[in-house]
Amino acid sequence: MGTSINGVGSGYDIDTIVSALVSAQKAPKQSQIDKATTSASTTLSAIGTLKSALSKFQTAMEDLSENSSFTGLTAKSSNEEALTAKVGAGAATGTYVIKTTSIATSSKVATRYIDTGTTFEAGTLSVKQGSGAATTVKVAAGASLSDIRDSINTQLKSSGITANIISDSEGQRLVLSSTKTGEGTDISITSSTDALTALTIDGAGTQASDDVGGYVVAPAADAVYTIDGLSMKSATNEITTAISGVEFTLLEDDTKATITVDTNTDGLKESINTFVDAYNTLMASIKSLTKVTSTTDDDGNATTSAAALTSDSSVRNIVSGLRNQLISSSTDGGTIKLLSQLGVSTQNDGTLAVDEDKLDAALETNAASVEGFFTGSGGLLTRMSSALDLYVADDGLLDKRTDTLNDTLSDLAEQQTALDRRITKYEATMYSKYNAMDTLIAQLKSTSSSVMTTLNALNNASSEDS
């Protein structure tokens, strides 16, 4: 900033004059930059809010699709400590009494006792489960039982077999366990040399003892149970094919439970209302970003202000696309093809409302069609979420607008820097000119005063001579 002694020679208020000139020079461009910056910043914030609202809506649609929220039937177990159940494709209403004699078990085997500190000669062990292919585990000379355990775990972890060591006062045992259940899945170990015989295991043939390796409690076994008195067996405890469309998991021996498959009326109503709430929340967010507000002051003067995205074409297209999906026919809903058949309608303000009586009536006769209507490949949830992908995807339309707005703000910042630099230079120039003027006036005044003094002296001398 330039400096002055504020018009010592001229008597002018140079600071005020220069300040006024600088303000007049800067104001038009500064106003333009300020308005553009405010507009870009406000729009950028609104775009971020819009994308967040759309992403939350998509997440809600995905959650409803993935959580079996619209399953028309539900399976309930009368004793969830005995078994749990859920419905799958092709289920039908009914009740089924399940009596479990024994659940399926996996193989757990142990070697004979091995003295603590024992090391082994070089060789190989063949680890096999049931009739499956054997895995060869190399044993290096001098390997400890811990080394062999680690080798087994490294090579067999992907097959579900793990090894550990159990010790007591009599020594150590190498214990192998499997996650695979069912008869004929017992683990066995054979050795390539007599030096490794202590590690051999006959999983199905003998129980582990001091001098032989074998199963720990019992060989692996199938689950044994009945469905409504019909005898059944399964290699696993997760039963998926015994009852059409019903999956259940056996949890305990000697138990009894009843599976009831019935219409999922309460769950369907909750899910439909969750969908409506998610849509209405999105519409409320969009409304706040596009509304026009009119206010009147105490003098009766009306003022109208528009939100950041009022009349924005992207927002109009988003809302239009969603509404088109709401009224479009679903291809996977069976007898339910339109949302209005479930008592859901669009209100004047763009939100959805549920007629509970119509919904109850629709579910009473068409509950089985609801899941396909909402979650099928051509279902409403998929179509509505897909309608937003163009906008919310990475590098989608909203991301591109965000990039453009950020570029605009960067350009405005550069314009501000250039303006500040130009105004600083202009201010210095004005101070230089006005200070020079002030100095010149001071010099002229000084010269004038000197001339007047000389003239007065001459006049006074002339008067004395006369």
**287: which 2 tokens?**
């409304």
pLDDT at 463: 67
Q: Give CA–CA dist 165/115, Å, rounded.
A: 12
Q: Of 395, 368, 397, 373, nearest to 384 (Cα)?
A: 373
80 touches 259 (CB < 8 A): no
pTM for this entry: 0.65
Dihedral sign for Cα atoms in the order 22, 26, 31, 33: negative
Beta strands 161-168 and 94-102 are unpaired
Edge-to-edge strand ranges of the sheet holding 187-191: 135-139, 123-129, 187-191
Per-residue pLDDT tens for 135-161? 999 999 999 999 999 999 999 989 999
Q: Does domain 106-215 have CATH number 3.40.50?
A: no
A 10 A CB-CB count for 294 gives 8
Mean pLDDT score of the chain = 90
**344: which 2 tokens?**
């859901």
For residue 376, what are the CA distances in angstroms to 56, 66, 316, 370? 21, 11, 27, 10
Q: Of 290, 375, 294, 366, nearest to 331 (Cα)?
A: 375
Q: Give CA–CA dist 40/404, Å, rounded.
A: 10
For residue 135, what are the CA distances in angstroms to 35, 142, 186? 74, 21, 14
Q: Give CA–CA dist 201/436, Å, rounded.
A: 108
Q: Give CA–CA dist 220/214, Å, rounded.
A: 12
**281: which 2 tokens?**
């929340």
Residues in the chain: 466
Strand partners, 100: 225, 255
Extract the residue ranges of the chain whose pLDDT is less than 70: 1-11, 67, 333, 462-466
| 228: Cα within 13 Å, side-chain hemisphere | 7
Per-residue pLDDT tens for 253-300? 999 999 999 888 888 999 999 999 999 999 999 999 999 888 777 777
